[in-house]
Every structure is written in structure tokens, then in C-alpha cells.
């Protein structure tokens, strides 16, 4: 059975999609732990409700002592590495991971879910920025993707993607809901693909 660590920062609805997929047998994987950099992340509660170990690992103690993000990323990588995962999934993880994190965990694939299509709306507030571009008549769809994590933000080889069209009269809330539905499916499909690739090794 392959093993993975899921990293979150917020509500954890994508984590919940992964938990549900594991419990239904759709994903042949053990979620070893859920790691969050925010204590208030409801995803931590979702993990506890599913009896999955959690690790709260904030950046603030590092910045308070004058340490930089690279120190934090290196220690975070060490802690994640201690679980010996085969795969690391960033599901709503809102902290750009430096090369330190990736280099320390070299050989363990890290994938990230981003609510935009490749090469579009990298960074934060991607859904809102796409919605505003649609309102300006610049695009008729956006989407979401799962990509392998490389030091450049929201770049890296695309593992899976899904188009999420805008519909006439869409409010931001309506579009966001449609995007999150697409994400919940995509994160499971992308994880299943990565696991199948790992099993083939
Ligand atoms: C998702 O839209 C994710 O793509 C983005 O933030 C949101 C997290 O949602 N990074 P959740 O925490 O999984 O509910």
C-alpha cells in the first residue's frame, strides 16, 4: 500500500475529497498525516475526524527568531520526510515551498492543486482574477490543474487539468462553487494517476 502526506492551509474540502476516496476504496493509499501551517485550518479537524495524524507546523516561530523561510522549509521537509511518504499532495497549501524543501525530499513526487489552467493566473486569488477577466470579456473559461511542484510558483509538469466554463449570469460565488466541485474530482484523479505511476516503478 502506497503512503502519502497531504499538506493544507485552509478548509480542507480537497483533503476531504481525498479522505472520502480512500475510505471508498477509490484511492489505494494510506494518508500518513495531514500537515498544516495554520492552526485554524478546518482541514485539521477533518483529519482528526478521520483518525489521521496531524502536524501543525507554522512559519511564525521562525520569522519571530529572525530565521528565514529556507530554514522553515528545510525543517518542514525533515518533518514530512520522517513519515517516509511515497507521495506528497499539496491540497490548498498556501505557502510557496523553496528549493530547500524540494531538494531535501528529492525523489518523492510533490503535486499541487491550483485553481487555474497551466500558464494562467499563477499565484493567489486565481479564481477571482479569472472571474474578473471573464467579466472583461477576455476569457470564456478557466479551470484547475494538478502539477508537479518545482521551485517556480504554480509551474511544473501538468499531471491533470479540467476546464471550468463560465455560464451566463455567473456570480463569483457560483463560479467558485463549480470550480471547487471540479477540484474535488481532479485532486482524486491526479492522485490516482500518480499512485499508478509509482506502482509501475
Ligand atoms: C482551493 O481552491 C485550492 O485550489 C486553493 O485554495 C482552495 C483550498 O480549498 N489553493 P480547501 O482548503 O481544499 O477547501
- Three-state DSSP at 84 gives coil
CA of residue 196 to ligand 1 center, whole Å: 24
Q: Is the CB of 10 under 6 A from ligand 1?
A: yes
Q: Which residue has the cell 477540484?
A: 183
Cα-only R_g, the chain = 17
| 3-state secondary structure at position 147 | strand
Band the pLDDT of 196: cuts 50, 70, 90.
very high
pLDDT at 153 over 80: no
Ligand 1, atom 2, lies closest to the CA of 115
Q: Check: CB of residue 120 under 8 Å from CB of residue 142.
A: yes
pLDDT above 90: residue 154: no
> Looking at residues 176-201, what average pLDDT do you find?
96
C-alpha cell at 198: 509509482
pLDDT band at 152 (very low <50, low <70, confident <90, very high): confident
Q: Identify the pLDDT of residue 150.
A: 86
- Cα–Cα distances in angstroms (integers) from residue 185 to residues 40, 129, 146, 169, 191, in the given order: 25, 22, 11, 24, 10
Q: Measured in angstroms, how far is the CA atom of residue 201 from the centroid of ligand 1?
A: 30
Residue 17 CA from chain centroid, whole number? 12
> Taking all residues of the chain, what is their mean pLDDT, rounded to a whole number?
96
Residue 129 has pLDDT above 80, yes or no: yes
**Model pLDDT, residue 151:** 80
pLDDT at 155 over 90: no
> Is 126 close to ligand 1, i.e. is its CB under 6 Å away?
no
CA distances, 184 to each of 20, 30, 113 (Å): 10, 18, 10
40-58: average pLDDT: 98
Read off the pLDDT band of 36 (50, 70, 90): very high
For range 83-92, the mean pLDDT: 98
* Helix (H) or strand (E) run with residue 186 in it: helix 172-199
pTM of the model: 0.96
How many whole angstroms separate alpha carbon 30 and alpha carbon 23?
A: 10
Q: Is the pLDDT of residue 167 over 90?
A: yes
Active-site residues, by number, are 114
Amino acid at each position: 500500500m502506497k503512503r502519502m502526506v497531504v499538506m493544507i492551509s485552509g478548509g480542507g474540502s480537497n483533503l476531504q475529497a481525498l479522505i472520502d476516496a480512500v475510505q471508498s476504496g477509490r484511492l489505494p493509499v494510506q494518508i500518513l498525516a495531514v500537515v498544516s501551517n495554520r492552526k485554524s485550518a478546518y482541514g485539521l479537524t477533518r483529519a482528526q475526524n478521520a483518525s489521521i495524524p496531524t502536524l501543525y507546523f507554522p512559519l511564525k516561530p521562525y520569522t519571530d527568531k529572525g530565521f528565514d523561510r529556507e530554514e522553515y522549509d528545510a525543517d518542514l521537509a525533515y518533518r514530512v520526510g520522517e513519515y517516509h511518504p511515497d507521495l506528497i499532495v499539496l491540497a490548498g497549501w498556501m505557502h510557496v515551498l523553496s528549493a530547500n524543501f524540494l531538494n531535501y525530499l528529492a525523489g518523492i513526487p510533490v503535486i499541487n492543486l491550483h485553481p487555474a489552467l497551466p500558464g494562467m493566473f499563477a499565484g493567489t486569488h486565481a479564481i477571482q482574477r479569472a472571474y474578473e477577466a471573464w467579466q472583461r470579456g477576455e476569457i470564456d473559461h478557466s479551470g484547475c490543474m494538478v502539477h508537479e511542484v518545482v521551485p517556480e510558483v504554480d509551474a511544473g509538469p501538468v499531471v491533470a487539468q479540467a476546464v471550468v466554463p463560465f455560464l451566463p449570469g455567473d456570480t463569483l460565488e457560483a463560479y467558485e462553487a463549480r470550480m471547487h466541485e471540479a477540484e474535488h474530482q481532479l485532486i482524486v484523479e491526479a492522485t490516482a494517476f500518480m499512485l499508478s505511476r509509482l506502482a509501475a516503478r
